[in-house]
């Protein structure tokens, strides 16, 4: 088995594997079909082919609990969780970009309803739902990553010196916690974007009832 090839394959299905590592869940062919539709809608390979490929390169393996379900190989799961934890401690800017896209999708939804295009409106609704799910996932993951690092410091298993711990906590507060407050606090960016979406959906519902 070629490790470089395994990593290349893993990078192609990163979003799906990251989700599996986070939830530590088993996946069936049906589950993989849903994951591909949600995260990699342009993927041409069938769910069965993707599962076989990931198994061939040592990323997934048949579950000991069921011959019809796959789970992530332990070493790969730890690898993904480690990288995801580091990524989630990066700049909160990713949340801002998601919220900006929610605003864009809301505007497009408004146009679709105004022009009476139900298929387009339904597609935009799905986009908004997916982005809201993404906000929740990113927020929960970032929270878990911060708690994980804090618990390591409290348990003193991180092998940092007192000076290094102070520097780490100061950096986390300055670059992660404080910037997030401007996004998630009442009246922040998240409130503004979601209030706009709620206002529009209320108006659309009232308009539909009136008709």
Angle made by CA atoms 62, 63, 64, in degrees to the nearest 5: 120
Average pLDDT over residues 90-101: 68
pLDDT at 210: 46
pTM: 0.46
Percentage of the chain lying above the pLDDT 70 cut: 67
Residue 82 has pLDDT above 70, yes or no: no
Residue 3 has pLDDT above 70, yes or no: yes
Please state, in angstroms and rounded to a whole number, the distance separating the CA atoms of residues 60 and 70: 6
- Identify which has the larger pLDDT, 76 or 92: 76
pLDDT tens across 145-197, in order? 667 777 777 777 667 777 877 777 777 776 666 666 656 555 666 667 667 66
SS (HEC) of the chain = CCHHHHHHHHHHCHHHHHHHHHHCCCECHHHHHHHHHHHCCCCCCCHHHHHHHHHHCCCEEECCCCCCCEEECHHHHHHHHHHHHHHHCCCCHHHHHHHHHHHHHHHHHHHHHHCCCHHHHHHHHHHHHHHHHHHHHHHHHHHHHHHHHHHHHHHCCCCCCHHHHHHHHHHHHHHHHHHHHHHHCCCCHHHHHHHHHHHHHHHHHHHHHHC
Average pLDDT over residues 46-65: 93
Number of C-beta neighbours around residue 92 at 10 A: 22
pLDDT at 102: 78
The residue behind tokens 């390169």 is 57
**pLDDT band for position 29 (50/70/90)?**
very high
Q: What is the CB-side half-sphere exposure of residue 208 using CA atoms within 13 A?
A: 11
Average pLDDT over residues 106-124: 81
Residue 136 has pLDDT above 60, yes or no: yes
pLDDT at 200: 65
């Amino acid at each position: 088995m070629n490790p470089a090839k395994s990593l290349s394959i893993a990078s192609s299905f990163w979003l799906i594997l990251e989700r599996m590592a986070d939830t530590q869940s088993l996946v069936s062919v049906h589950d993989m079909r849903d994951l591909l539709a949600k995260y990699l809608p342009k993927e041409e390979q069938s769910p069965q082919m993707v599962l076989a490929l990931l198994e061939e390169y040592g990323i997934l393996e048949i579950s000991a609990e069921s011959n019809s379900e796959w789970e992530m190989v332990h070493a790969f799961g730890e690898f993904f969780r480690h990288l995801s934890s580091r990524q989630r401690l990066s700049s909160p800017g990713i949340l801002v970009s998601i919220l900006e896209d929610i605003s864009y999708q809301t505007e497009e939804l408004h146009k679709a309803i105004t022009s009476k295009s139900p298929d387009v409106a339904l597609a935009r609704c799905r986009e908004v739902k997916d982005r809201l799910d993404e906000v929740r996932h990113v927020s929960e993951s970032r929270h878990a990553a911060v708690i994980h690092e804090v618990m390591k410091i409290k348990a003193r298993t991180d092998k940092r010196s007192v000076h290094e711990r102070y520097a780490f906590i100061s950096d986390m507060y300055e670059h992660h916690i404080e910037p997030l407050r401007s996004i998630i606090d009442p009246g922040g960016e998240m409130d503004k974007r979601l209030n706009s979406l709620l206002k529009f959906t209320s108006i659309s519902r009232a308009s539909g009832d009136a008709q």
